[in-house]
Structure 1
Amino acid sequence: MKTQEEWVKVCTSDKLKEGRHVIREAHYEGVLESIIICRFKGHCYAYINRCVHMPKRLNCEHDLIFDITGQFLRCSMHGIIYTPETGTSQSTMCHGEQLKAVKVTEIENMIYLSDKRVSA
């Protein structure tokens, strides 16, 4: 298990507002990946920034990841939507498939990627 000193810093808590996201490049299982971290209903969630429909970043065409309602994450290329809490697709085409979750921890006004598979 990683210690807090080994976690990958994302940003201070006040930099990640409700319904917004930040992107952090980090190594996931040894491969450099784009990781998207968002805040939804007060909680932070993190996922590998790759749509399950096609291997494109959720924000590949627009730097937005929430849909117009603010209730779902949305791929800007094909409109596939996901629940922010689980990363599960709600779209007919990929229903039930999930974004790859990354463990995130918010502590002492800081947000970290605390997943054992992630390194800077």
Structure 2
Amino acid sequence: MILLCRPVELAEGQSRGFVVDGLKLLLVRRRGQVHAYENRCPHRGIPLDWAPDQFLDQSGSLIQCAAHGALFLIESGECVTGPCAGDFLEALECSEDAEGIWLLERD
């Protein structure tokens, strides 16, 4: 497991970006649950953020691609509008305990 941050460093409704061994990823906390995805739009393969740690739309309820405005559900990564509608962000496994939010290493 790889430590990404302490739990207090990802507040409710907040998103953060990380790079681990060349892998760009993002975390979002929604309703107390942490969701982790590869920071890569399925439409063009480019990073989603328009500024550091800025992955959410204005309402804070959807992940938004800065390049073309595609919107993704936080809970599943499904694109609900935009050129990649029906596609999904690549979900990553993470866990959280009192010490931190951890990325589970892939096989």
Does TM, scored on the shorter chain, surpass 0.5? yes
- Partner in structure 2 of residue 56 of structure 1: 46
Percentage identity across aligned positions? Answer: 26
Paired AA for residue 31 in structure 2:
K
CA drift at 1:37: 1.1
Equivalent-residue separation in structure 1 for 2:57 and 2:18 (angstroms)? 21
Whether the aligned pair in 2 keeps the contact of 1:14 and 1:109 (CA below 8 Å) is: no
| Structure 2 partner of 1:38 | 28
Question: 3-state SS of the aligned residue for 1:14?
Answer: helix
Could you tell me which amino acid in structure 1 is paired with residue 42 of structure 2?
Answer: V
Q: Which amino acid aligns with 2:72?
A: Y
Aligned to 2:6: 12
Shift of 1:25: 1.3
Higher RCO (C-alpha 8 Å, min separation 6): 1
Tell me the number of residue pairs that the alignment of Structure 1 and Structure 2 aligns. 106
Q: Deviations over 1:3-51 (max 9, x none)?
A: xxxx000111000011212222124xxxx21011111111101011001
Q: Provide Cα deviations, 1:53-79, integer angstroms capped at 9, x if missing partner.
A: 1111111x3331111111100011110
How far, CA to CA, are the matches of 1:35 and 1:53 in structure 2? 16
Q: Point out where structure 2 has 5 or more consecutive residues left out of the alignment.
A: none
Distance (Å, rounded) in 2 between the aligned partners of 1:82 and 1:40: 13
Task: Give the 4+ runs in structure 1 shifted more than 3 A.
Answer: none
The aligned counterpart of 2:106 is 117
Structure 1 spans left out of the alignment, 5+ residues = 1-6
Q: Is the 8 A contact 1:88 1:99 kept in 2?
A: yes
Please give the root-mean-square deviation of Cα atoms over the aligned residues, in Å: 1.4
Structure 1 residues 57-76: aligned runs within 5 Å: 57-59=47-49, 61-63=50-52, 64-76=54-66
Normalising to structure 1: TM-score of the pair?
0.81
Per the alignment, residue 15 of structure 2 pairs with 21
- Partner-residue secondary structure (3-state), 1:112: strand
CA distance change for structure 1 residues 92 and 35 in 2, over 3 Å: closer, same or farther? closer
Q: Which has the larger radius of gyration?
A: 1
